Structure formats: C-alpha cells, structure tokens
Structure 1
C-alpha cells in the first residue's frame, strides 16, 4: 500500500466515523488529516476524488446529480490548488527576501556604524532610524587631532539596497580622505567626483558637511542640496535656518561648493537633519517648521541626546508610529 492509499484509507475512517457520530473529535482528526495532506503535497482535487469515490462505495444508490456536482467542485479545486501553490511559492520567496534584507540591514549597520565622539566643550546627540529595513540616511563623525570635529549627514534619493550600497561607497570615500580634513567645500567636491563616476545617473545624494573648530568655536559648513538645518541662538532664544545651497552630489563632476561660517557662543546649538524629519506627515499633510522647533524648545533643558530622542518619539507618535521616510537628527551644542 503506497502513501496515497494510506491517506485514502485514513480519510475513509474519518468520514465513516463522522457520519456515525458527528463528533468534534472526529472533526479535529479531519484537521490533522488536512495538515498531513499539505505536508505530503496532496492537491485538494485529489481529496475530493477520494471523497466522491467513498460516497459511491458507502451509498450505492446516491443520486447521480450529487456525484456530478463533484465534477464542478473538482475543477474549482484544480484552479484553487494552482493558485495556492503559487501563493505558497511567493510567500517562500518573500520570506527569503526578508531574511536577506535583515542580513543586509545588519551588515549596513556594521559597515556604516559611527560612534558619537566625546568632545570637550560640546554636547552631542544623534539618532538615525530607517523607515524600512535599509537606511537611506547616513551620518558620520570624525574627531581629528582634538582641534576639529567633522560631521557629515547625507541622504540618498532612492531607497532599499541600491541606496545602502551608495551609502557604503560614500562612507569608504570619506574614510579615504586625509586625517586632517580640508575645508568642507573641498570635501564635498572630492566626494562629488567619486559619486559622479561610480553611481547610477538616476541616483543622487544630498550631503551637509561641517567642521567645528574647537579652538575658536566656529562652525564651517557646506551643503550639496541637503535639507537646511537650524541654528539656536542661546542669547536671543531664537531659531534660524542654516542657509547653505549647493548642487546634489553626482550631477556634475565640475561642481564647486561654497563654504559658510557660523560663530558659536556658549549654549548655542547646531541642528542637522534629513528630510524625514521636516517631512513628517500627519492626516493634514507635512508638519510645519514651527511645529518641529516647538518640539525642540520643549526639551532645551535636557542633554543633546535626550532632546534628539524625545523629538523622535514625539514625531513618531504624531505619525501614528509609522515612519514614511528615514529619520536622522543631529544636535551639536556648545557647553555653557
């Protein structure tokens, strides 16, 4: 007796017992039979054929119309079985892709991970949260010989694995720069040439690059089409945008970038972010700039990292805990 004959005999016993007692126990046996049939890859139409044959055996005088109705059910189940197999195949592939994405995300976190430096005279907070598995945002700190703190924040116009690969390339291009970094505009021009030569023309990268001079407390910065940050003036208690314009990385290898300077007094803050922060969305559309700044104002008495964490949680709650874009927020505050 082969396996299918064994399954047919099992189904016969279940059917006979149920016709006699209609018990819940027998129905449960039917569920177990169903699971075994799936494991044995027995298609549903074959089970219907077994059921039809058993009815003919148990009820020789059964009306022919009833038996004929099983022919329709057989055809329906053939289509259902094919659709179910396709569904299972797609589900398996989806699980494989999800597993690969999780591995890729872990690798990205390892490759692009950067630590927040402990810098005398500065309070630093940073947080980057991907909207999906892979992060299209990137931030990086380099504390050189103690005199300068370099900070970069970038955003790939694109998502998923291609964006992650672009960020990996940017990270290693930045690592290849001299330890004593030159001016921010020169850094962007160097990275721009790398991106233009190595990235698909359909993908572009925005980046803000700044160098904080710890000796004179001046912040030098340049932007390649990145979201404008904010400056908090402790003396006046006012926020203002950090204006720095420049072409996205990867458009034209001959692009030149302007450099700007900001004097930093005790208590002043530099706020850098990606568009996932300013473009947080509610049912009524994007949040206003003033809304974001109001959230920051609530937590000015806290450390920079606590401010970043609280603002993220507030904006996440505002969006019903669903991020539509990668979120990156950095705060540099000169200690009083």
Structure 2
C-alpha cells in the first residue's frame, strides 16, 4: 500500500509540474506576441507608432502613394511607410491642437455634402463615382476621409496658399492648349427608333446613312434636313446648329457626341452614324473648330492651379511642422537606413 501511495503521489506531482510549466509557458508566448505587435517604432510628439500601426499602414501607403510627390518617397518601402505614418501623426497632432474632431457624424455629413455637390442621391452611385474619380476602392477612400477632412480644416487655419496670378493662368493655358481642347460650332441630326426591334433600328440607321451620303455631295441638304420635322434635336429650329461649345463642357451632358467631334476632323466634315447617350442615332456636321478661348476656361484653370498650390503649400507646412516636432525613432531598419546615431534624440529627415 505504501508503494502504491508513493507512486500515486509521484504521478500527481509529475502532472502538476507539467501543468504548471504549461501555464507559465503559453501565457508568455501570447504576451510576447502581443508585445511584438505593439512594439513602438517611433514617437511623434505625444503620439506613438507601433508595429501594428505599421502593418496596417503598408496597404494604405501602397494605395495612396501615387498621389504623393516624388520627393516624399525616399528610401526603401519600409522607410517610406514609416515616414508616411510620421507625417500622418504630425497632421493628427495639429488637428488635436486645433480641436478638429472627426467622428462618425462628421464623416456622414461630408459624404452627404459631396453627394449633393455631384447631384447624386444614391449611395451606391456615389461609391461608383468615387472609384471612377480617384481610381480607388471605396473602402480605401472612406478610410482616408478623416485625414482629408482634417487636411481641409488645417488648410483654412494653418496654411494660406496664394491665389494663382494672371501670368500663371496665361502661362498654363499657353502650355496646355492641347489639354484644354477645342470648341466646336456644329449641326446635328438625331433620329430615335420607334421601338427596340432590329428592323426599326436598321431602318433608322439606313435613313441617317442616306442623309449623310447625300450631304457629302450637297452640304446644303444636311442643313435642310436639320431644319425639318425629321430632326429630333432640340436645336432643330436653328437648323440643328450648336454654336461654339467647348468639348469639356459638352462632355458633361453629351460625352459621346463630344468624343465624336474630336475625331471627325475640321470644318465641313460629317461624322459617321453613331448612337448618343440617349440611344438616338445621330450625325454631326462641323462648321467651325478652334482652340478653346482662355476666357472660357479661366475659372477652371484658376481652380486647378489653386488646388496645386494648396497641395504644395500643405506639403511644405507638414515638412516644416515635422522639423519642429520632437520625433524619436526606434525602428532598427529606419535607424540603419538613415544612419541615426542616437534614436532617443529629436530626429527629422532633411
């Protein structure tokens, strides 16, 4: 009995020891993993940047980096992400100092404001518009929206970008006439099928083709038909004449027609039969073509140049603010790449 008792006590002590070691070991693994994820890579003023921040920032940086100027992309991808997070922390700190709060309601209000500015009432349509405009997945754009709101507020409070001068507007116009495009004076004839049948579609197409062929021989025939009851254009009473419209303006309401005009050629040219945005069959006769005058695009150029100045001024402000912010770096890769001798001291890139 004594042997059995001693053996039982031995087994109990053995398994108790194993369990004790297990309880000691596994929490340490979990704790070490947690500490690894939360290791501090940098401290920017009152904010710290952890390994977890870095891991989450990699994909954001990859999605957004094409919008950054080339001089902001120094060193390896690893260091670029660290710099990206430092710059974002600088902006966050400044926003906190100015009591700029971006909560869920503020984000919802911003989305609603942007939808109204575009004349969009459906959220799904707005999402598609955002993806098309910024070439970004909507969820990536939405994740970055709080930063954009803070940036917009700081631009008003901290940054004062100068207005573009008349000389800058004129210089941009002279350099970018090809981008500005042309304006056209043209006549249009439009016909709609009575129904969606193939026979009806073919009939209308053939009718316009016949009008085009006759107009190529006698341009006055085009004007005659354009003034007649067969033409469904809203400009019919004026002989189908659309008087001097810049292509960028026409793109807003009739993108297909605008595209066709740029491909047809100069005055006297008649387009092939095409279907417009309203599924009507059309042909156009160009009567005049000239570079878009500066006065027609002045406001657009001023807005474009001002946005450029805003971006440049904001980048300069971030750079200056960063230089005046106490930054401590602890990331070994960044320290080695930038030859930082004392990471505990204030550090800023040139």
Q: Given the two structures, how large is their TM-score scaled by the length of structure 1? A: 0.23
- Greater length-normalized contact order (CA 8 Å, ≥ 6 residues apart): 2
Q: Given the two structures, how large is their TM-score scaled by the length of structure 2? A: 0.22
Structure having the larger proportion of residues in helix = 2
